[in-house]
A and B are shown apart, each in its own frame.
Chain A
Amino acid sequence: MKKFPRRNKMIIYGDLLIVLQNSAGPERIVLSQVQTKINVPYDRLKVYIQDLVELGLVEDEVSCKVSEKGLRYIEEYKRVLDFVTRMGLSY
């Protein structure tokens, strides 16, 4: 079985926000699909989404729509990951 490297919370938040942003559409976001994509247990995923709502990165727990602040975080997060990749470091 493939072993996933340990991620810290900020990286999980970044990955989660990107998945939520990509899953956004007219239909409601299915959390079990999100869970599979970012590889965290369902109960932990609910806690992370609560955290994101408290941080103002996601609008609410029902729609899971990424807020303006969340979009800015995604942009910054992608730039930092790009920098780390360009410098030849892994993340």
Chain B
Amino acid sequence: MLYTTEHIIIEIISAIACFILVRFMIKPYQLTGKTQYLGLPIGFGFLGVSYTVSTIVYSFFNFPELGWVQLFVRGFAFLVLAITYFFSKAEKNARLLWKIILALLAIIFVVMTLLVTVVSPQVSLEDYRLSYFVIRTFSLFSLGYIIIHTLRNNRTDAKTVASSLGFVLLAIEQYSQLIWVVDASYFALFGGLTFRLGSLAVFLYITYKALYGKRDDQNN
């Protein structure tokens, strides 16, 4: 495979960026104790894990089953993020439901891990390609939901526009990955990876600006 080193470097940078984001995104939960705020760090944590697994997959080609792990974990990460945004808009008392969903997600994750490690090594490459296509499409829908949610919030607060942009870039990355599976174009692969880096940079900027930057009410 061409450009493996470049690909591995981008995966490592992405994983590090995600774990830095997790470190700071946990703050709202630590301060308020609201479990709804756990969704963001969990989602980005799984994204970081999937990029770490990708690094291993592209570094050592002898672990084909890990390809399944990174595929499922990444899809799972986007699912967690979409559910977090879904419960964020619920003004009624949805705390119990959120906790049930969180428990269900944990069960789904355990089942997925078992499936991936026990069943997937016996599945053919063609089935892997099909699963890749299905999971990436599903991730695109999850990201689409998040983008619509943040854009709706943008009507009442212009500050959310950066997060919309971050998720749009992540969605373009998922779309590029789909194209890469279909026509194996390196332009799609590295274009997608560039969009991903751009997206993570946007989220790092939001985190820095909100938690460490100068606030608007401090100007005078």
Query: Are B31 and A88 interface neighbours, CB within 8 A?
Result: no
When distances are taken between beta carbons in the complex, the residues of chain A under 8 Å from B34 are 8, 10-11, 91
B202 to chain A, nearest CB (A): 11
CB closest chain-B residue, reference A76: B31
Query: Are B33 and A88 interface neighbours, CB within 8 A?
Result: no
Query: Are B210 and A79 interface neighbours, CB within 8 A?
Result: yes
CB closest chain-B residue, reference A78: B215
List the count of A-B residue pairs having beta carbons below 8 Å apart: 77
Query: Are A79 and B211 interface neighbours, CB within 8 A?
Result: yes
Q: Does residue B207 face the partner (Cβ distance < 8 Å to A)? A: yes
When distances are taken between beta carbons in the complex, the residues of chain B under 8 Å from A83 are 27-28, 206-207, 210-211
> Interface extent on B, as a size class?
20 to 34
- In the complex, A88 Cα to B206 Cα: how many Å? 11
CB closest chain-B residue, reference A83: B210
Interface centre among A83, A88, A89, A90 (most CB of B within 10 A): A88
Majority secondary structure, B binding face: helix
Considering only CB atoms and an 8 Å cut-off, how many residues of chain A contact the other chain? 23
- In the complex, A86 Cα to B150 Cα: how many Å? 9
Question: C-beta contact mask, B189-212 vs A, less than 8 Å → 1, else 0?
Answer: 000000000000000001101110
CB closest chain-B residue, reference A87: B163
CB closest chain-A residue, reference B147: A88
Q: Does residue A77 face the partner (Cβ distance < 8 Å to B)? A: yes
Q: Does residue B124 face the partner (Cβ distance < 8 Å to A)? A: no
Query: Are A85 and B32 interface neighbours, CB within 8 A?
Result: no
| Known contacts A79-B215, A89-B37, A89-B85; A84/B28 CB under 8 A | yes
When distances are taken between beta carbons in the complex, the residues of chain A under 8 Å from B85 are 88-89
Q: Does residue B177 face the partner (Cβ distance < 8 Å to A)? A: no
- In the complex, A87 Cα to B33 Cα: how many Å? 18
Q: Does residue A5 face the partner (Cβ distance < 8 Å to B)? A: yes
B28 to chain A, nearest CB (A): 5
Query: Are B157 and A85 interface neighbours, CB within 8 A?
Result: yes
When distances are taken between beta carbons in the complex, the residues of chain B under 8 Å from A9 are 33
| Known contacts A6-B93, A79-B215; A88/B149 CB under 8 A | yes
